[in-house]
Amino acid sequence: MAETADNNDVKTEKAKKVADPIAATIDVASQKMIRRSQQLGIETIFDRAVTMKPCNIGIQGTCCKNCAMGPCRLPLPKSGIEGEDQRKGLCGATANTIAARNFARMVAAGAAAHSDHGRTVAEVFMSVANKETEDYKIKDPGKLLAIAPHFGVDTTVEVDGEKVDRDIDEIAVEVARKALSEWGKPEGELYYLKRAPQPLYERWRKLGVLPRNIDREIVDIMHRTHMGVDQDYKNILKQCTRASLADGWGGSMIATDLQDVMFGKPYPLQSEANLGIMKEDHVNIIIHGHEPVLSEMIVAAAQSKEMIEYAKSKGAKGIQLGGICCTGNEILQRHGVPPAGTFLQQELAIVTGACDAMVVDVQCVFQNLANVAKCFHTKLITTHPIARMEQDNVVHIEFDEHHALEDANRIVKMAIDNFENRDAEVMIPSQKAAQIAGFGVESVEYHLGGTFRGSYYTLNDNIINGRIRGVAGVVGCNNARTRHNEAHIALVKELIKNDVIVLTTGCNGIACAMEGLLTPGAAAVYCGPGLAEVCETVGIPPVLHMGSCVDNSRILLAATEVVKAGGLGHDICDLPAAGAAPEWMSEKAISIGQYFVASGVYTLFGVNLPVTGAPVFQKYLFEELEKLYGGKWDLEADPIIMARKMIAHIDKKRQALGIDKARERVLMDMADRMRLEA
């Protein structure tokens, strides 16, 4: 029987409120595990969301705690603001300044998280290039050759007046040096910015927002939001743009590219998703976090004959790996390792009683995992020097790329040894769904272009002829303040029903997989006739899983390829496209939102945005940014209205491109039309 941790024991506190599992999540597997955790007296995030309310001033974005004279709190008066806004902090900071500073610090934290991930990847790549590690290799030299020119690295050399291929090892060293220098070079601008469509790059140049180096733009935000520095919300927002572009078109894009070089480009593959992927008679290892450098090695270790034999010698039938969050997405897209769930399911994977080890690296990891693990036999293993936990039941095995496989073998062995220590009844929910994941810029080109015509022309043709109405990027987290996965699924279903193809990353990708939307078969069930026809013809799902949150860079590049293929304008802001994060919660999401907006995309967030207490700043984000960048922010908590707004924007862009008439040929039934007109 599972032991209960002291601070989780709700049985002793008679009246303590707990979550209603059905109100907490749409996912039946999660409902079962929430119920089980409550029966065992184990508290999860769902229960805490019921007992702890968010701060009403913080959610408006108007609490300033940047100096010790505060916190200064400037909530919107219930009656609203009439005339001039008189609210001020002690120093005189206005609501706009405070909200803009808070927003900027979220961008800084988000850009730092993505970009520091990129830096780790670049450092590991440097070790590979310098041949200091045996464990990692250049698995995809083609991708290295493809990205080298973007760093200004030649792939050929002139010998006797003739161009010949340059040595790949030499190219690798030069790319590694150039990539790593992006974090701190003293002059110039980031190399990858020129990968954007030319008009977009020119726009950034004219507006003076080209990032200089990645670290500098983040440090700059921390400086200018210090007490008494930048007091102009427009100028603060300008720096948000620089830092966020340094994330999307810098740190994140470099992370994605170098991961592809070392671990291989994703390619569509079959897998499953949800807690039902765990197996009672196997050693279950759940890998959670964001950086795939160690998890690549864990996959290799867990698949080795030696470890599988060892697991059998301990009475298990094999080793089942599962993912949570974006490390999960990384090993899904390259190895088909099934995700066990989204962000909000991390505690629930342990509550099954079958999780022999949970291995975590950085970002989106609940500290409460340690308390839940204490109630079971689960070994909770932290692996990253910047992400440790104070609880004494947590094991720390620090990853080092110089002996990565050795670290991974140690972790897998620890999980196997723990198999026989299961002390609670195992209760794995049966729910899981099949999925096809592993799409990237290159595979979308191949799949939509066909074997003989690998290009984005076919996608563009189908957008122009109206079969595909437009493209939506739907990404991002879960948020315990809303019903788990409800907005993700409602939004995506509404979009594909209206012939909008969806590109997904992060937890939205996992949520869609759990719902069965990542299969080609979903097209006939959920899509409008035009999108269904395209999906059925080329054999793709209507929702294409592009990977982890750093892989939002793949969506930027896919949009760029669509622009290049022609017929849909000259810039990303011309495309019939929109973006959304319906259940966001992370600072990374704010950085992503800002770089999408600055790249020309109409971007909607659900739940809430911490800018509503500063109406002038909010108006700047929601209306005026569009005049500068072609994209703008919006907030909409209702997923169906969110879909309507995205579709209206897509239709406006179709009209501007003169391709709105084409869609009239697409037959829709009367009910659909009435809903669209509503």
Q: Which is nearer to ligand BF8, 344 or 464 (CB)?
A: 344
Site for ligand BF8 in 422-481 (CB under 6 A): 476-477
Tell me the closest approach of the beta carbon of residue 276 to ligand BF8, in angstroms. 20
Site for ligand BF8 in 67-106 (CB under 6 A): none
Q: Which is nearer to ligand BF8, 18 or 113 (CB)?
A: 113
Q: Which is nearer to ligand BF8, 346 or 462 (CB)?
A: 346
Q: Which is nearer to ligand BF8, 46 or 343 (CB)?
A: 343
- Provide the b/e sequence for 621-659 (b: ≥16 CB within 10 Å): bbeebbebbbbbbbbbeebeebbbbbbebbbebbeebeb
CA distance 260 to 121: 10
CA distance 106 to 178: 28
Q: Which is nearer to ligand BF8, 549 or 642 (CB)?
A: 549
Annotate each residue in 263-302 with x if it binds ligand BF8 (CB under 6 A) or - if it does not, as one string: ---------------------------x------------
Residue identified by tokens 């972790």 is 411
Q: Which is nearer to ligand BF8, 153 or 477 (CB)?
A: 477
What number of chain residues touch ligand BF8 (CB under 6 A)?
13
Q: Which is nearer to ligand BF8, 401 or 583 (CB)?
A: 583
- Contact flag: residue 253 with ligand BF8 (CB under 6 A): no
Tokens for 424, please give them.
Answer: 């609670």
Cβ(97)–Cβ(236) below 8 Å: yes
Site for ligand BF8 in 323-352 (CB under 6 A): 325-326, 343
| Alpha helices (H) in 304-356, listed in sequence order | 305-313, 325-335, 346-351
570-572-576-582 Cα dihedral, nearest 10 degrees: 180
Report the DSSP beta bridge partners of residue 394.
380
Tokens for 245, please give them.
Answer: 């572009």
CA distance 342 to 323: 9
Q: Which is nearer to ligand BF8, 4 or 478 (CB)?
A: 478
Q: Supply the DSSP symbol for 16.
A: -
Tell me the closest approach of the beta carbon of residue 549 to ligand BF8, in angstroms. 3
Distance between alpha carbon 553 and the CA centroid of its chain, in Å? 10
Alpha-carbon distances, residue 496 vs 462, 524, 668 (angstroms): 15, 11, 13
- In residues, how long is the chain? 678
One of 549, 556, 559, 604 touching ligand BF8 (CB under 6 A): 549
Tell me the closest approach of the beta carbon of residue 497 to ligand BF8, in angstroms. 24
Q: Which is nearer to ligand BF8, 583 or 634 (CB)?
A: 583
Site for ligand BF8 in 497-526 (CB under 6 A): 506-507
Tell me the closest approach of the beta carbon of residue 518 to ligand BF8, in angstroms. 16
| Three-state SS at 526 | helix
Q: Which is nearer to ligand BF8, 464 or 601 (CB)?
A: 601
Tell me the closest approach of the beta carbon of residue 475 to ligand BF8, in angstroms. 7
Site for ligand BF8 in 576-595 (CB under 6 A): 586, 588
428-430-434-440 Cα dihedral, nearest 10 degrees: -30
Alpha-carbon distances, residue 593 vs 3, 87, 344, 496, 606 (angstroms): 43, 28, 21, 22, 12
Site for ligand BF8 in 4-23 (CB under 6 A): none
What number of other Cβ atoms are within 10 A of residue 219's Cβ? 14
Cβ(177)–Cβ(258) below 8 Å: no
Tell me the closest approach of the beta carbon of residue 247 to ligand BF8, in angstroms. 12
Tokens for 2, please give them.
Answer: 């599972």
Q: Which is nearer to ligand BF8, 476 or 528 (CB)?
A: 476
Q: Which is nearer to ligand BF8, 8 or 586 (CB)?
A: 586
Tell me the closest approach of the beta carbon of residue 576 to ligand BF8, in angstroms. 25
Site for ligand BF8 in 186-205 (CB under 6 A): none
Tell me the closest approach of the beta carbon of residue 504 to ligand BF8, in angstroms. 10
Site for ligand BF8 in 351-370 (CB under 6 A): 364
Alpha-carbon distances, residue 635 vs 168, 622, 645, 659 (angstroms): 47, 8, 10, 28
CA distance 675 to 660: 18
Q: Which is nearer to ligand BF8, 484 or 649 (CB)?
A: 484
Q: Which is nearer to ligand BF8, 498 or 552 (CB)?
A: 552
Tell me the closest approach of the beta carbon of residue 77 to ligand BF8, in angstroms. 33
554-556-558-560 Cα dihedral, nearest 10 degrees: -150
Q: Which residues contact 549 (CB under 8 A, 6 or more apart)?
A: 114, 252, 290, 326, 475, 476, 505, 506, 588, 589, 592
Cα Rg, the chain, nearest whole Å: 25
Residue identified by tokens 């290892």 is 285
Give backbone dihedrals phi and psi of 379, rounded to 5 degrees, phi first: -85, 120
Tell me the closest approach of the beta carbon of residue 175 to ligand BF8, in angstroms. 25
Q: Which residues bind ligand BF8 (CB under 6 A)?
A: 290, 325-326, 343, 364, 476-477, 506-507, 548-549, 586, 588
